[in-house]
Structure 1
Amino acid sequence: MSTRAKAEQIVQEAGIPPDPEPEPEAETWEDLVPLGSKVELPAFPLATLPPYIADMVAGVAEEMQVPQDLPGALALAALSTAAGGRAEVEVRGQWREPLNVYVAVAMPPGSGKSPAFRAMMAPIFAAEAELRESAREKIAEALAAREAAIATAQDSLKKAKDIEERKVAIAAAQMAEQMPVPTVPRLTADDVVPEQAATIMADQGGRLAILSAEGTFLEVVLGRYSNGRPNLELVLKGHAGDRLQIDRRGREEYIERPALTIGIAIQPDLLKDLAAKRQMHGRGGMARFLFSLPPDFVGYRKITPDTVPHEVIHSYRETLKDLVIDMAEWEDPAVIPMTPAALKLHIEWRTEIEPRLRRGTGDLEGLREWASKLPGATARLAGLLHLAENPKRGPLSAISEETMGRAIELARYYVAHAMAAFGVMRSHPRLEDARAVLEWIKADASRTTFTRRQVHRAFQRLFETADDVDQVMTLLEDHGYVRLQPAPKGRGRKPVTYTAHPDVHAEGR
């Protein structure tokens, strides 16, 4: 008998209980790393808009069951269509801001973008039709005058008795052919390539609004038809008002002060596509946009909501239509000053923004390119609100302190949404999928251990292959939400099994 066996026999005969078997060590987990947790963004500040616009925004949001952010942003785009290239704000010294803005609202498919777009842009399209109709008579008169001048010159040429008279007649015919004819007015475009948009702008005195319930124009700018190469020239110069060169009909032309308005609704995934184009950031393409990321109402909408009152629709459409038509008479932009109190408020706002841009300490450091343009964007918003509040006397009066205060409130809203928008652009491409799987885990308290196959079955529409599942599970594992279990010993295919962090279900309660 071995020494060990003899010792165990003595202990047993003496009645000494054996040492307890050591318990397995408890599984330890590290603290969870938040999975890019969503921040509750501020709602659109409806009170910043004049009542006739605010009532329409609220009414459309209720009837169409969309967030107020969508019709609110579209209202700003409509005002920009009226004022772009027609007015500018005098900030101080030589600093002037044109009153055209770029707004983009990120909403998923099927969320009611198109009907809301039609309702908010109705005054723009009505004004465009009215401007075209009123121009028809002038165009007809100009064409008749040109044809009469050509006929007279041709008649003179036939009656010419010598070389000098022929020269005079030929010169008169050439002048007659070059007599200007007014262009049919056009305010808006939709699915156009940048080159085509620039040509339209050249015909329209440098002004155009790209208005669409889809993000097609941005997709084209990103390079849909140019082998993936972004075409940013129009987007950059059309916002700043810098001289734009175009090649039209075989000759170079210039738009001295282009004024482009963009008002679009885009798919949320397009934000990531924008992020993938370094040129969109390095050259300031994205820094010019005011982004809105409203909540998703799909699945929570009323079936029979209240409709927009007729008097609200009439007031909005007629007031805004008249503003567009009145502003169309300003060939040279109206210069709108600020009152001393408004300027003081704007300076205080700039003073607040500046330290927030500092590297290492500023909360806007990650948005320096965008936030550096925020004072100018605020001045533009103030100018648009001023014209909306004073549709008849706006171009001839100064921006008040109260209007500037409302513009700053609106700018704060856009700061919060810009942080979220640029956060989406920089996020992991599978972040939303990971959130969906995490919610699935939380939904069942017994789901402490599960297999990859179970995840795949639960999200068949989301994941085409097991590799897609692996990418999401790796992201969850990196954040500590799950742990991959060692494969059991033995032959044959073994299931890929995960264990959820104990705190996951605590979060779900």
Structure 2
Amino acid sequence: MNTENISEIEKELSEEITAVIIKNEWEQPEPFEKEVQYQAFPVNSLPKTLSDYLKAVCDFVQVDSSMVALPMLSVLSLCLQGKAVVSYPANAHTESINIYTLTIAQPGERKSGVYKALIKPVTEYQQQYNILHQKEIERYKSKRKFLEHQKQAAMNKTSFERVEQLTDELCELKPVHEMRLICSDTTPEALAAEMDKQNGCMAVMDDEGSVFDVISGLYTNGQGNINLFLKAYDGSSHTMEIINNLFEAAKNGDIKALQIIIELNGESIKDKEIALHKQEIKVKEKHYENNDY
């Protein structure tokens, strides 16, 4: 079959398809990409101190106000974790003030510059706090380790009364941990353990979006675990049992606040979307298998 014959066949097929479309009155397919009407962030709606700070960051990093506004609100929410809730006046219903945010932009749009500028006060405060309380933290670690060794020695000597005494001392020992307000590349299990140390509060902040790789199963052979992230959004209780150790996300089993602040390249979001979609399919397949539909 020569080229001319192929062209004639393609032309005939095209005419037939067009005729079918007209006959059945099919609408022409809409394009996937639509023009989005851009709306600037209402900077004037912020208190003067915050609006001035936002404008200063925009001028310093040379970005639009919308790129700064979202992560700035998230950092403010981080600062209020566990300190306040939104209460509905008609009844006792409350909502946590933590928010999950996602900023998407192309590579080279200075997302990392915005990220560094906004978390700098947080990291400086965290560092100053840990320096100020370093002696207390080290004393707690040393005392707990000493009591645990003493308890183990007493158990080996079958001195039960001494074991009970040391157990009481360990229970009465007030935990003093290093302050950690921010983490990035963390598994849900490690996040739950760290939130327990931080009185149920933590922020997951990342300017590369690596948390999506983790929750889609990066360290667990493709087996995702997003329960903690889902429950933390509204402060639900959550427990996690791993290798005979029970981690509770906070005292009394309540999560006070989990803040998620992600900045992501527009070119990489499709790959992460595909990975999360595959994980969703696996979860649904497992659900159907367990319920024997």
The answer to whether the 8 A contact 1:199-1:248 is kept is: no
The answer to whether the 8 A contact 2:215-2:226 is kept is: yes
Structure 2 counterpart of 1:96, from 94, 97, 101:
94
Q: Which residue of 2 aligns with 1:61?
A: 58
The answer to whether the 8 A contact 1:150-1:176 is kept is: no
The answer to whether the 8 A contact 2:107-2:266 is kept is: no
Q: Which residue of 1 aligns with 2:211?
A: 217
Q: Which residue of 2 aligns with 1:205?
A: 199
The answer to whether the 8 A contact 2:44-2:51 is kept is: yes
Q: Provide the rounded CA distance (Å) in 2 between the counterparts of 1:279 and 1:90.
A: 38
Structure 1 counterpart of 2:169, from 176, 180, 205:
176
Q: Which residue of 1 aligns with 2:105?
A: 107
Q: Which residue of 2 aligns with 1:235?
A: 229
Pair member with larger Rg = 1
- Give the deviation of 1:208 after TM superposition: 0.7
Alignment of 1:33-72 (within 5 A): 35=31, 36-72=33-69
Give the alignment's Cα RMSD to 1 decimal: 3.5
Q: Provide the rounded CA distance (Å) in 1 between the counterparts of 2:138 and 2:60.
A: 43
1:74 aligns with 2:68: no
1:250 aligns with 2:241: no
- Give the deviation of 1:278 after TM superposition: 4.6
Q: Provide the rounded CA distance (Å) in 1 between the counterparts of 2:150 and 2:234.
A: 46
Range that drifts further, 246-255 or 215-224 = 246-255
**Residues 56 and 199 of structure 1: CA distance in aligned 2, closer, same or farther (over 3 Å):** same
**Residues 168 and 199 of structure 1: CA distance in aligned 2, closer, same or farther (over 3 Å):** closer
**1:103-147 per-position Cα deviation (integer Å, ceiling 9, x unaligned):** 110011111111211111111111211222233233345457668
**1:175-228 per-position Cα deviation (integer Å, ceiling 9, x unaligned):** 334534311111110122222212211221211101111111122223333444
Structure 1, gaps ≥5 residues long: 1-27, 158-162, 283-509
**1:62-97 per-position Cα deviation (integer Å, ceiling 9, x unaligned):** 222222122211111111211123321112413211
Amino-acid identity (%): 23
Q: Which residue of 2 aligns with 1:16?
A: none
**Residues 250 and 148 of structure 1: CA distance in aligned 2, closer, same or farther (over 3 Å):** closer
Q: Provide the rounded CA distance (Å) in 2 between the counterparts of 1:140 and 1:252.
A: 24
Other structure's SS at 2:63 match? coil
Q: Provide the rounded CA distance (Å) in 1 between the counterparts of 2:150 and 2:268.
A: 59
Structure 2, gaps ≥5 residues long: 1-17, 282-293
| 2:62 partner letter | Q
Q: Provide the rounded CA distance (Å) in 2 between the counterparts of 1:226 and 1:117.
A: 29
| 1:121 partner letter | I
Q: Provide the rounded CA distance (Å) in 2 between the counterparts of 1:262 and 1:239.
A: 9
Q: Provide the rounded CA distance (Å) in 1 between the counterparts of 2:139 and 2:147.
A: 12
Q: Which residue of 2 aligns with 1:124?
A: 122
TM-score by length of 2: 0.71
